A and B are shown apart, each in its own frame.
Chain A
Amino acid sequence: MVSNTPTLQVEDLKTYFYTKAGVAKAVDGVSFSVAKGEVMGLVGESGSGKTVTGFSIIGLVDPPGKIAGGRILFDGEDITSADGERMRRLRGRRIAMIFQDPMMTLNPVLRIDTQMIEAVQAHDKVDRQTAFERSRDALGQVGIPSPEERLKAYPHQFSGGMRQRVAIAIALLHKPDLIIADEPTTALDVTIQGQILYEVQKLCRERGMSLIWITHDLAVVAGLADSICVMYAGRIVETGTIADVIDRPLHPYTHGLIGSVPSHNKRGQPLAQIPGMAPSLLSMPQGCAFHPRCPRADDKCLVDPAMSTPRRPDHRVRCFHPHLEDAA
């Protein structure tokens, strides 16, 4: 019997940071859902709130930040205010996270096997030998050669790409239902990026795991994801299937993002750029957060736009003047 409950459902999530200089609304009313086996791309520039969204889902938002509103439903269960122990049991076992910089995510003074075995034993009561074998197999599956030797090494003895594969292997140890990958390839060079992208996608498809891939790079997500959410200044401004959003973007910001990808450019013409900068989360503009930089803005935009579905029910946009005229 196939359950139709989405693996993850986020409803109107608000995560605010209460600092001396004011309240920073890092995530301000974000809603989306991820189905079983779906790969979703969460795209936005730095400061858009995408990383904080990821941390909110897995419950690792530290003070002075705090989830100030909304709900997070994991497999139907409300985990927004789940207690420490409940979250701890979910983390690593059913929801896993991969961070951006693998050098600092692995503890430099502990060996790889220590760090993997403890991840296994945190959720399964198995003996050390079994945990060791599981770790070794996991390393093999992410394409690390001679895993037995590698296990005895320290993180700094690995290259960046290898370290990230170790992090992915750790994420996969318990076959979680959901993986949140926060810019996992940004710190790696381009050739490795492609490899890791492909492998992660393959593993997810094989095991029916849902994946949220957080990135600022549209191109990365275009070849990988099923659906995409575009974030700006703490809000989702557009969401839909990959085909819809990439080929027929509605929001001016998405439009600008896609237009600014160099491969889209015609030779000899200056690169299209979105003028201006993202607003500081402490002093947001009135109304639509993007309107100061938007070529289509007018007085209507001084009011906060709500989500609308001008074209198709699963292609939502938060804008008064979406690009309805585009065809390809």
Chain B
Amino acid sequence: MRLHLRGDGSIERMSVYIVRRLLQAVVVILVMSILVFAGVFMIGDPSEILISDDADQEERQRLVKSLGLHLPFYMQYLRFLGRAVHGDLGSSFVFNEPALLLILDRMPATLELAFSALLLAIVFGIPLGMWAGLKPDSLASKSIMAGSIFGFSLPTFWVGIMIIMIFAVILGWLPSGGRGETRDLFGVPVSFLTWDGLEHLVLPAVNLALLKISLAIRLTRAGTREVIHQDYVKFARAKGLRTSRIILVHVLKNILIPVITVLGLEFGSLIAFSVVTETVFAWPGMGKLIIDSINLLDRPVVVAYLMITVCMFIIINLVVDILYSVLDPRVRLQDVKG
């Protein structure tokens, strides 16, 4: 990939910005790791965390020695960090496998769910929001806004239960849980390539997406209402442009930037929220894993999940930040302060 220098220093500035943000991200990850480590290990007996409850006295002593639990805190942390960098985040008590592997195994399912939900939010939320913004006093718009209030009021788990009841139990159209057939795409199992897989994907994806669709609708509507009154829209009309062009090009492009960035940031929360949806729909993703692990007191998995999720979060934030400065030409060409 050749980097086309623009000759005005903008590419160089962008690179500096990216590097700076990356460094910041690393710092934040380290801080978070200390917090999580401290939280999990200090509140509560460290030996309880790493040693299964049903180990006997001798086991216990051996493990304490080998895991270094008798060492002072900072040394334990460093050992933890050292192992973490090598990908070893402990072994699950329940499955007897490395925690990291367990999580990575389940990640595709969660990501697939999250991406589908995001897609639904964009495809449905943005057009509906624009309509509500362009005709704020119409009946359609008022119903859309009322619907969006329901969308983010209703707790996700309740909606999940409801739609299972309606679509699976009463109407029997769609399955009530679990993941469908999967095919491998570049070595990663995905379920949207099969009809059965799609059937199983629909309800949980819609459930997860509901909150985000409401958010998208409200954001887009607010953005549209603001943009519509701007001078450049009036000027576009004064030029004699067709209304459709004005809406689809002038208005949309201005709205899209903040809306997409917010939705992008919300992607992280989609992954977090999948905890609920996966539990309700018995979808075998990371979220279900952690809830089960918390209930089964499988602490290494809990720690591993938290660390990984926090990292994913920070990476998502970073990517969205960069994306924002790429999309908005006003930001792109100035010196962006980290």
Contacts and interface: CB of A to CB of B under 8 A. Distances in A.
B333 interface: yes
Contact of B237 (A91, A106, A123): A91
A170 B234 contact: no
B237 A110 contact: no
A99 B234 contact: yes
Interface in B226-254: 230-232, 234-243, 245, 249-250, 253-254
Contacts of A60: 234, 237-238
B241 A92 contact: yes
B105 interface: no
A105 B245 contact: no
Contacts of B242: 88, 122
B320 to A, nearest CB: 18
A97 B231 CA distance: 12
Interface string B59-79: 000000000000000000000
Nearest to B231: A104
B238 A91 contact: yes
Given A109-B254, A154-B330, A119 B241 contact: yes
Contacts of B237: 60, 88, 91
Contact of A104 (B232, B240, B241, B329): B232
A97 B232 CA distance: 12
B241 to A, nearest CB: 5
Interface string A157-176: 10000000001001000000
B328 interface: yes
Contacts of A101: 231
A96 interface: yes
Interface residues of B, number: 23
A110 B249 contact: yes
Contact of A119 (B239, B254, B333): B239
Given A110-B253, A154-B330, A105 B240 contact: no
Contacts of A122: 239-242, 245
A109 B257 contact: yes
Interface string A289-304: 0000000000000000
A122 B249 CA distance: 13
B231 A108 contact: no
B236 A107 contact: yes
A170 B241 CA distance: 12
Interface string A72-108: 0000000000001000111111001101010011111
A184 to B, nearest CB: 12
Contacts of B236: 107
B328 A170 contact: no
B239 A170 contact: yes
A43 B44 CA distance: 79
A88 B232 contact: no
B235 A99 contact: yes
A151 interface: no
A196 interface: no
B187 to A, nearest CB: 39
The DSSP consensus for interface residues of chain A is mixed
Interface residues of A, number: 29
Nearest to B229: A62
A89 B242 CA distance: 9
A139 B230 CA distance: 25
A278 B333 CA distance: 44
A99 B239 CA distance: 11
Nearest to B256: A109
Nearest to A167: B235
A42 B267 CA distance: 54
Contacts of A110: 249-250, 253
A93 B241 CA distance: 10
A90 to B, nearest CB: 7
B254 A107 contact: yes
B238 A58 contact: yes
A105 B237 CA distance: 11
A105 B231 CA distance: 5
A290 B238 CA distance: 33
A108 B236 CA distance: 12
B329 A109 contact: yes
Interface in A110-140: 110, 118-119, 122-123
Interface centre among A60, A105, A123 (most CB of B within 10 A): A105
A149 to B, nearest CB: 11
Contacts of A92: 238-241
A105 B233 CA distance: 8
A110 B233 CA distance: 12
A88 B240 contact: yes
Given A93-B240, A119-B241, A106 B235 contact: yes
Interface in B285-338: 328-330, 333
A156 interface: yes
A13 B230 CA distance: 26
A28 B103 CA distance: 73
A105 B238 CA distance: 10
A168 B235 CA distance: 12
18 contacts: A58-B238, A60-B237, A60-B238, A89-B240, A91-B238, A92-B240, A92-B241, A93-B240, A96-B239, A99-B231, A99-B238, A105-B232, A105-B235, A106-B232, A107-B232, A119-B239, A119-B240, A122-B242
Given A92-B241, A104-B230, 9 more contacts: A58-B238, A88-B241, A88-B243, A91-B240, A92-B239, A109-B257, A109-B328, A109-B329, A154-B330
Interface of A: 58, 60, 84, 88-93, 96-97, 99, 101, 104-110, 118-119, 122-123, 154, 156-157, 167, 170
4 tightest Cβ-Cβ pairs between the two chains A and B: A92-B240, A91-B240, A104-B231, A105-B235
